[in-house]
Amino acid sequence: MPTRETFPDGVPCWVDLTSSDTAAAADFYGGLLGWGAEDLGPGYGHYTKFLADGLAVGGMIGNSEASGFPDGWVTYFATADVRALTERASLAEAEIMRAKLTVRTIVVQNNKRAAASRRRLKSYEEVTGDPESG
């Protein structure tokens, strides 16, 4: 399998699955795609890396009904300029979702089904430099 160190702007660079049955999901994608699954343990909230040919290709985290978010996939796209991408997304009428977690990414959506992404965002101020909370 080819590997890459960098990703051009706009290219999907990672996927995360939120699942209410992580064992079944690991079995399913293992059988379907040949992926292995490595649970990183309690120190990482039992985040699981999906592996293909020994290389990380995505991840998975457990979900519960109490979270209020549906199970589903989140796709991450590479960008060299998060601020410019945020501005373009706003102009395209995307909803800019924000939280106070430090992750080197911002997730935007134009539908409500991607709401599970909220937990993986930088704060609005970190992304835009604007202290206004939105």
Residue 16 scores a pLDDT above 90: yes
Residue 84 scores a pLDDT above 90: no
End-to-end CA distance of the chain, in Å? Answer: 43
CB count in 10 Å sphere of residue 90: 13
Confidence bin at 1 (pLDDT 50/70/90)? low
Confidence bin at 134 (pLDDT 50/70/90)? very low
Judge contact between 115 and 102, C-beta under 8 A.
no
Task: Give tens-digit pLDDT for 89-130.
Answer: 888 888 877 533 344 544 555 444 443 333 333 444 444 454
Task: Give tens-digit pLDDT for 32-79.
Answer: 999 999 999 999 999 999 999 999 999 999 999 998 889 999 888 788
Residue 87 scores a pLDDT above 80: yes
Judge contact between 3 and 55, C-beta under 8 A.
yes
Mapping DSSP to helix (H, G, I), strand (E, B) and coil, where does residue 37 land? strand
Domains annotated on the chain, with CATH: 11-76 (3.10.180.10), 79-128 (no CATH)
- Phi/psi of residue 22, each to 5°? -65, -35
Can you give the pLDDT at residue 31? 96
> Which long-range contacts link 127-134 to residues 24+ away (Cβ below 8 Å)?
127/82, 127/83, 127/86, 127/96, 127/98, 128/83, 128/86, 129/83, 134/96, 134/98
